[in-house]
Chain A
Amino acid sequence: MEKEKIIAVQNLTKKFGDFTAVKNISFDVYKGEIFGFLGANGAGKTTAMKMLIGISNPTSGKATVAGFDVKEKAEMVKKNIGYMSQKFSLYDDLTIKENIQFFGGIYGLSRTEIKSKTESLVKELQLETIINSLVGSLPLGWKQKLSFSVALLHEPKIVFLDEPTGGVDPITRRQFWEMIYSQAYKGTTIFVTTHYMDEAEYCDRVSIMVDGKIEALDTPKNLKKHFKVDSMNEVFLKLARNVE
């Protein structure tokens, strides 16, 4: 069976003045896969992702997300993607319910949709008893799960997760990855950046960015075999060292 491309990137480049943050990258992401987007801080992965989610214009090159060009059809791209940043950006001074209502509202969900979504979401995360508490009073792990669920409210085809597990404990990270898996199983494509190398092992395929370029792209298994090492951590170190 031919795999369906949901993200197609060709020769994408972003320059800030003289500095080239993203150098001519090309890759595809297939429907329903968990795609890990790895790189050290400053390697350009955030810049690359910003172009894919339509808040930064590419200097040159082409990218389509969910079938829409990010440059010309940014509005359509935005309707079809979900996004969760490393800050789990919900409003601390709004209650769980109000947050869901607000984000449902800006994605254009109807009142009845929001209502049924709120019910199922709260039930799934077992937040029934505290639905009217302020989000600011929740522990970080709960905020993270809630934030992920909110990013999925409008049933996007792709979810972009920008370092979604920063600062949470290992157990919560594990639970979070279970949520990611079950979502991918439902057919949602997951595009995730991380710098935890053990998390890279959970991904279907992984790309590693070094210095604005994609230096490696394959399944974790193949990458380890290719570099003749046991863990993704070593793959990463080897790549980074080669460039320096």
Chain B
Amino acid sequence: MKRFIGFIRKEFYHIFRDKRSLFILFGMPIAQILLFGFAITNEINNVDIAILDHSNDVETQKIINKIKSSPYFKIENQIHNEKDIEAEFKKGKIKAVLIFEPNFSKNLVTKKVATLQTVTDATEPNVASTIANYTTALIQNYQLQKKQYNNQIKVQVQSRMFYNPELKSVFNFVPGVMTIILMLVSAMMTSISITREKELGTMEILLVSPIKPFQVIIGKVFPYIFLSIINAIIILILGFFVFGMPINGSLFLLLFESILFIISALSLGILISTISDSQQTAMMLSLMGLMLPVILLSGFIFPIKSMPIPMQLISNIIPAKWFIIIIKAIMLKGVSIQYIWKETLILIGMTVFFITLSIKKYKIRLE
């Protein structure tokens, strides 16, 4: 036990004396969560649009006022010619143009149909489609109000967004970033710190000493479990206080699942360290082999449901996918273990598998 404590103390010296690892450990989580939270967002606010009103009558004015009063759009200017649309887009300030057909009010009364066209600058496809959705929603809302005055029979579709009524992207990013950070810190940092000992030749010295190989590994991994838990807590605190990310479920369960995920990431880190001889290889392997799948296939950024079937199948072997499902369920839906035991079991199974595999691999290398 005393050996073990000495070993861990040494490991902390390494970490706290290396500015780079300190930065990756603590600077990056905070930077990432703030970046994702503030800068990278799917919501739109105050988008500059232009109006091309061919009819200029009561109804179009009503709609324009409605748009003006919404927080999403800012009417930058009125244009009077179809030709000006492209010119405005080229200037770059305006993201969309709303075009009312001539005789808008009249058509609405006589033909019961009037056309409003939304032209968007789709060089930024996400923004463009969001704008299109928002305008559609605004117009529908306007129609509803109109129908009420006319006292006609109406079928009203009301959507309610459960768990995230405002569709805040932060609710998606906090769990996602937490997953990435835990994966990065746990897997990359451990694999680098183990391969560093190999590179420096100190691993050989440790293996020649009476300390057992598995003690070496546990000694190397333990500080990172501890630091990763601290990281998880920092991210949760930031998410909660800065972005209003709710934690509806049990905090204890959330921490338990996080520790489980951390251990599975650590065992992946050990696995990587057994197959790489240099710190660079370990880093590249962690980045390419772990980070990319986590970002692309975990459902964090791209919804798994809309992937082709082979990709969906591959996503099942990514621990991060299950972890994201679990923590979202705990934080947003406030569920208890009985709703996520399946995912938890999968995560436990993966962890056991990776640990067994890395111990096996580690032994082979010793031969």
Contacts and interface: CB of A to CB of B under 8 A. Distances in A.
Contact of B200 (A78, A89, A98, A105): A89
A85 B201 contact: yes
A89 B7 CA distance: 16
A91 B10 contact: yes
Interface string A199-223: 0000000000000000000000000
Interface string B1-13: 0110011011001
Contacts of B18: 93
Counting chain A residues whose Cβ lies within 8 A of the other chain, the interface size class is: 20 to 34
Given A91-B202, A108-B3, A102 B208 contact: no
A106 B210 contact: yes
B141 to A, nearest CB: 63
B208 A54 contact: yes
B209 A53 contact: no
A161 B341 CA distance: 54
B157 interface: no
A220 B34 CA distance: 70
Contact of A105 (B7, B13, B208, B367): B7
Interface in A49-70: 53-57
A107 B200 CA distance: 20
Interface string B206-246: 11111100000000000000000000000000000000000
Nearest to A104: B6
Interface in B311-367: 366-367
B3 A106 contact: yes
Contact of A107 (B17, B209, B366): B209
Counting chain B residues whose Cβ lies within 8 A of the other chain, the interface size class is: 20 to 34
A234 interface: no
A13 B18 CA distance: 43
Contact of B204 (A85, A101, A103, A107): A85
A106 B9 CA distance: 12
B3 A87 contact: no
B205 A89 contact: yes
A57 B364 CA distance: 11
A81 to B, nearest CB: 7
Contacts of B204: 55, 83, 85, 89
B90 interface: no
Contacts of A54: 208
A94 interface: yes
Contacts of B205: 83, 85, 89, 103
Given A57-B367, A89-B202, A91-B202, A98 B13 contact: yes
A225 interface: no
A6 B95 CA distance: 84
Contacts of B209: 78, 103, 106-107
A107 B208 contact: no
Interface of A: 53-57, 75, 78-79, 81, 83, 85-87, 89-94, 98, 101-103, 105-108, 160
24 contacts: A53-B208, A56-B367, A57-B367, A78-B208, A78-B210, A83-B205, A83-B208, A85-B201, A85-B205, A87-B200, A89-B202, A89-B204, A89-B205, A91-B13, A92-B200, A93-B18, A94-B13, A102-B10, A105-B2, A106-B3, A106-B206, A108-B3, A108-B210, A160-B208
Q: Which 6 A-B pairs have the closest CB atoms?
A: A105-B6, A87-B201, A89-B201, A83-B208, A89-B202, A106-B211
